[in-house]
Amino acid sequence: MPCRSSQHPRLDRRSFLTASGLGFAGLSLPDVLAGAQADSSRARSTILIWLDGGPSHIDTWDMKPQAAAEFRGPFQPIQTSAPGIQLCEHLPRLARQTHHLAIVHSMGHATSRDLPGPNNHSSGFFHGLTAHPPDSSFFQLSESRPSRPDDPPFIGAVVAAKTRQRNSVPQQVMLPRRFRVLSNTPGQYANQLGAEFNPLYVDGSNDIPPKFTVPALKLPADLSAGRLRTRQQLLRQFDDQHRRFERSLVTQDYSKHQQRAFSVLFSKKSREAFEIEREPEALRRTYGRGVNAMSLLMARRLVQAEVPFITVVWKKEDPVLHKKKFCNGAGSWDTHGKNFDCLRDILLPNFDRMFAALLDDLHQQGLLDETLVVVSSEMGRTPKIGDPRPGGTSGRNHWRQCMSVLMAGAGIRGGQLYGASDPIAAYPVDKPVGPSDLARTIYHAMGVHDLTAVDGDGQSIELLEEGRVMAGLF
């Protein structure tokens, strides 16, 4: 399937005059100039950090200390390194790195207050990961709706298809797990683009230190790569279950996906990128001990190896590291019960340490200017405390109408707030944006401007028709 690398648009004199007089593509002159500046500092990589389950935005980075107690909760805001921006008191390390951050307070997945859409994880994954609203099947099948070959592709797959191919490293990596509500949760695959653009999946364990394996390249214990003489021999040793899974997605593209896997296995550069033990012990301690912390450090290594798109999917590790209390819900951030205990004792301290370490590490390595870092999820949490489920008196339920997104690097102007929510963080009230706007902004930062492709039947398709670049971020 042919895919072209995108070209950077130029802001010539004629475009400048048009922009100054009538507006350019619906943007004001400051937006055009900001977009042109962003193009001049195109990102080489994107790290998407997905807080699986849906973090409570009102208890973290969109706090409402003036709201009534049944909305604001017990946490207090603290000042940060960015004047005018406050974060939760349980994010002290991140508060010292906030001058690198832009916080989008006006993200919503719902189409309107009256039509919020299906309020579950699968639909949130699909919308957030593909930038396309969930169709009627998500209402009918709810969490049982599987991925389908004709679904729109994951944002990371579009970046993988539209950026320069690098044979020695994968175009995109997902770690330390896949998205799992089902074994085939929608939104995370290349689908229309073909399985060759699916991520290389890397499984991370909850061991201390964590172990990372690549299921697609996993060999039997008694067989080393050095003993294999041909790629045909390696093919026969591939894990059968993984092969069936990939074939069930897009059979005709499976061989291309395998060829990319071969290139990764036999590439010294790619193998070394996954050898996290090469990092100094002192730096590893800075990130923390768990599998999510080491996944963020691995993401930084993959940026150095020039992998275009890296997705870190938060893995629930509290049963191993924290035996005192557990978070209710499918994902750790799915705090239907014990919302405040879980955030205070487990989630926020862990995230605070590892994410602040990532931002500082990228900055110290001189990589932040060429790396787009995005923290997002499938939803926020209800503004009012309480969940109808058993044990949910101190929890917050799903809320797709409003959430926050954190962004840094790649020309993003740090120390700013973008948009705003209402006094109880229920709905966006200033600069409302949705997943399509976030996707457009990611593509823009990565220099991806051609959003057309050809599907498996040879038909031309538009990968994304909605959305606008959040040019004011740059």
Of 110-114, 235-239, 369-373, where does the model show the most confidence?
A: 369-373
Number of H helices, E strands in the chain: 17, 18
Q: What is the mean pLDDT of residues 153-175?
A: 90
pLDDT at 203 > cutoff 80: yes
pLDDT greater than 70 at residue 220: no
**How far is the CA of 215 from the CAs of 199, 200, 317, in angstroms?**
12, 9, 20
Percentage, residues of the chain above pLDDT 90: 60
How much is the pLDDT for 328?
A: 62
Is the pLDDT score of 12 beyond 50? no
The CA R_g of the chain, rounded to the nearest whole Å, is 22
Percent of the chain surpassing pLDDT 70: 75
Per-residue pLDDT reduced to its tens digit, 282-331 = 999 999 989 999 999 999 999 999 999 999 999 988 654 444 456 666 56
Please give the average per-residue pLDDT across 194-206, as a whole number.
Answer: 90
Q: Is the pLDDT of residue 223 over 80?
A: no
Architecture of the domain whose range is 13-473: 3-Layer(aba) Sandwich (3.40)
CA nearest neighbour of 266 among 293, 226, 302, 323: 226
Please tell me the predicted confidence (pLDDT) of residue 323.
Answer: 47
pLDDT value at residue 112: 55
Distance CA 449, CA 454 (A): 16
Q: Give the pLDDT score at 398.
A: 93
Q: Is the pLDDT of residue 258 over 80?
A: no
Residue 72 has pLDDT above 50, yes or no: yes
pLDDT at position 66 over 50: yes
Chain-wide mean pLDDT for the chain?
Answer: 82
Domain boundaries, the chain: 13-473
Residue 449: exposure state from Cβ atoms within 10 A (0-12, 13-18, ≥19): middle
